[in-house]
Chains A and B, each alone.
Chain A
Amino acid sequence: MNEGKHPALVVEHVKKTYASGKEALKEVSLVIPEGDFFAFLGPNGAGKTTIIGIVTGIVDKSAGTVRVFGYDIDREPEKAKACIGVVPQEINFNIFETPLDIIVNQAGYYGISRKEAIPRAESLLRSLGIFDKKDQESRALSGGMKRRLMIARALIHKPRLLILDEPTAGVDVDLRRSMWDFLRSLTEKEGITILLTTHYLEEAEQLCKHVAIIHQGSIIESGSMKDILGKINTDSFLITLRSQVTPEIVEALAAYRAKKIDEKTIEIETDDGRGLNDAILLLNGRGFPIGDIRNKSGRLEEVFVRLTGK
């Protein structure tokens, strides 16, 4: 083992062009330190699943190198793969098998005996709340249960790096929160490094220490969540007026990058609290009484929208 000496994942100058000619990754490099909770963000088709496929050995890269805890995936694929657990975006177990069989067989592929795997699988199924389904054909599981089954399957060999491709897609709010708690406890209590992709920016904001934003096969932004949020050192506010928004007032607020949102709402951006105060004074001075002011939430979403234009 090479505990602590290497980052969990190093991706260097990785490119991918599919057989169809589609250039899915232009040139991607990134480092995920051990113990990190890392998010990949990016619109549909950005290349997130492609990177995960390359790291986990089911997609061939066209160029570049990948190391998992220091093990090069081309030179020491077995060692690299033994460190990774993956929850794919699409369901990829045989729905006619039972959850217990699926997990215990997966353990087998990692060289873990049935004797050892069965109690471990049962305990994972229990902590993910699907223990009572363990002996039914898994096609009888709901969508959310199938996702949890794949999380249990990914953890059976105690991976040091857990990769989840949209684990909470199509999962209800309650379950999503409990998945968050579960994932948090994995990093905090067991020191597992987690890489996830999600389209719920709030999720990344809540969970992750670092993010990379991928757009059209390139990483266009990456860093700590704090830094990324700090990129947008302005705050946005939605101001609802008691009267109609006129073009003139939007013009007068140009310094605040004002935008008309609807009949009575303007969005403005300010660098600090004083800016907001000045804007309010300006509005009042021009005879526009204010009904309501809200700080626009979802700042990560804002960065995302700005960067990707989506």
Chain B
Amino acid sequence: MNAKKLWISFMTIVRKDVLRIFKIWPQTFLPSVVTSVLYFLVFGTVLGEQIGDVDGFSYLQFVVPGLVMLAVVTNSFSDVATVFFVSKFFSRNIDEILVSPTPPSVIIAGFVGGGIVRGVLVGALVLLVSAFFVPISFAYPSVVLLFLVLSSLVFSLAGLVNGIYAKSFDGISIVPTFVLTPLVYLGGVFFSIEALPGFWRDLAAANPIFYLINGFRYGLLGLSDVPIATSIAVLVGLAAALIAANWYFIRTGLGLRQ
């Protein structure tokens, strides 16, 4: 396939997912918005006052980047994991693509593209909603955008690995609940890891989501526990490793071909 055909095939996969995301918006856009509003109500009106400032920002302002990232991570991950799993397990319409000349790289790019669109849109929505509760600043707008896209990319890729591997519906709901959400909570959504004792601080540093939240927080507030370059390097490295893994799985047909 030449470049134009590859592009058409890529856009076909992305377009199909994006149309689906908009069609079922109460399942795709609404939940994160509702959850965030609840957080703002609880923290803003009940707890926030009692906690006090963190590094010169109100607690609510400090929490916003983490809440946005929570939405981005879970949405991009479960979007790709679910779409891929359903098309492989239920209708088996993944075969529509497998019998076509679309190469593995474009299959990966297409599915991940849909996840990025969803991750970025939901992230933007949550950010917009938070603007009703706290003043939002954009210390480094390009960093904000970069981290929205990078984190959607990384977790779409991770979702794809999960979708390829999963053998049952449980297999794709376990990870968001038991892995992603804890990682996000422990990755410094609600606190600065500076506040943690030594061992826990080291543990947090092994959590990829920690870098993601810090990078994003840096973009919004200009505040970070680690240098921004470290955060970017960790995410890019993670994306590269996940791309390689996915490419290998699809190339060798793992979990796809019998």
Residues of A within 8 A of B (CB): 18-19, 53, 56-60, 77-79, 81-82, 84, 86, 88, 90-95, 102, 105-106, 108-113, 153
Contacts and interface: CB of A to CB of B under 8 A. Distances in A.
A109 B100 contact: yes
Contacts of B87: 94
A111 B9 contact: yes
Contacts of B12: 105, 108-109
B92 A84 contact: no
B96 A78 contact: no
A109 B97 contact: yes
Contact of A111 (B93, B97, B98, B101): B101
B99 A58 contact: yes
B8 interface: yes
Nearest to B98: A58
Given A106-B96, A111-B101, 4 more contacts: A109-B13, A109-B96, A110-B102, A153-B96
A57 B11 contact: no
Contacts of A92: 91-93, 95-96
A77 B1 CA distance: 11
B103 interface: yes
A86 B98 CA distance: 11
Interface in B122-149: none
A84 B98 CA distance: 12
B238 interface: no
Interface residues of B, number: 27
Contact of A95 (B91, B97, B98): B91
A115 to B, nearest CB: 10
Contacts of A58: 95, 98-99, 257-258
A108 B92 contact: no
B258 A59 contact: yes
B253 interface: yes
B201 interface: no
Contacts of B8: 108, 111-113
B6 interface: yes
A113 B101 CA distance: 15
A108 to B, nearest CB: 3
B96 A105 contact: yes
Contact of B5 (A53, A93, A106, A111): A111
Contact of B258 (A18, A90, A109): A18
A58 to B, nearest CB: 5
Nearest to B97: A109
B253 A60 contact: yes
Given A53-B258, A60-B258, A108 B9 contact: yes
Given A94-B91, A95-B91, A108-B12, A56 B4 contact: no
Nearest to B4: A111
A82 B99 CA distance: 9
A88 B12 CA distance: 22
B100 A110 contact: yes
Interface string B72-111: 0000000000000001000111011111111100000000
Contacts of A106: 96, 100
Given A60-B258, A90-B92, A92-B93, A109 B253 contact: no
